[in-house]
Amino acid sequence: MFEKEKNYSPNLEELKSHYRSVITLLGEDADREGLLKTPERVAKAMLNLTHGYRVDPHEVLLSAKFKEEYSQMVIVKDIDFFSLCEHHMLPFYGKAHVAYIPNGYITGLSKIARVVDIFSHRLQVQERMTLQIKQCIQDTLNPLGVMVVVEAKHMCMQMRGVEKQNSITTTSDFTGAFNQAKTREEFMNLIQHGSL
């Protein structure tokens, strides 16, 4: 089973004052007109981009867990996501594809997308996000197998010119029935498409 995640309520005022300091430390005048409301806007934006810390993805899946004998692969593909890399706090974004093979229980399709949304709205690395989505579905639905594929572009690579500007990073993780190459292939064939 999984551990229930603890709740944390961030302090907007404190965040604002820190972002004001950051602006000043960057050599800007935090009091000039265009920047006056920036600390508040950035603080609110960051709270939104990290709202995933304040939602328990397990509960989201359990809230729509239905008994069902269907035992073929269920696929939710092309789930758009936006996340922040934890090393630079710059965006990485792309698509997640999720498949699972039910073992007596299914969940609402929109809940799968919600789980991606929750884990992506945290400071992340793509590898861990992929694993967490997989594990959350495995732990709550106990399916015969789960597979998650994530394709993303990382602004920390693109903006800083570290690597090729248009490179796409792909990660995948799976459990159970997806240990069979044939099952993975079936999923991969179904999500084949062009670029992001």
Query: Annotated binding site for Zn(2+): which residue ranges?
Result: 85, 88, 156
Residue 136 CB neighbours (<10 A): 23
The reply to whether 126 belongs to the active site is yes
Smallest distance, Å, CB 131 to Zn ion? 18
The reply to whether 88 belongs to the active site is yes
- The residue among 84 and 148 lying less far from Zn ion, judged by its C-beta, is 84
Tell me the residue number closest to Zn ion, measured at CB: 156
Q: List, in sequence order, every beta strand (DSSP E) within 74-155.
A: 74-85, 91-101, 105-107, 123-124, 145-154
Smallest distance, Å, CB 80 to Zn ion? 20
The reply to whether 193 belongs to the active site is no
* Tokens, residue 129: 């996000």
Q: Name the catalytic one among 40, 156, 158, 186.
A: 156
DSSP code of residue 33: G
**Adjacent-strand bridge partners of 81:** 94
The Cα 79–Cα 110 span in angstroms is 10
Smallest distance, Å, CB 46 to Zn ion? 16
The annotated binding site is made up of 85, 88, 156
The reply to whether 86 belongs to the active site is yes
- The residue among 85 and 141 lying less far from Zn ion, judged by its C-beta, is 85
Q: Name the catalytic one among 51, 59, 68, 87.
A: 87
- The residue among 75 and 155 lying less far from Zn ion, judged by its C-beta, is 155
Q: Name the catalytic one among 124, 126, 135, 138.
A: 126
The Cα 152–Cα 59 span in angstroms is 26
The Cα 158–Cα 85 span in angstroms is 13
Assess contact for 113 and 99: CB atoms under 8 A.
Answer: no
List the Cα angle 51/52/53 in 5-degree steps.
90
Smallest distance, Å, CB 90 to Zn ion? 6
- The residue among 123 and 156 lying less far from Zn ion, judged by its C-beta, is 156
The reply to whether 165 belongs to the active site is no
Q: Name the catalytic one among 5, 18, 88, 186.
A: 88
Residues lying near Zn ion in the complex (CB under 5 A): 85, 87-88, 156
In 3D, which of 188, 185, 156 has the Cα closest to residue 170?
A: 188
Known catalytic residues are 85-88, 126, 154, 156
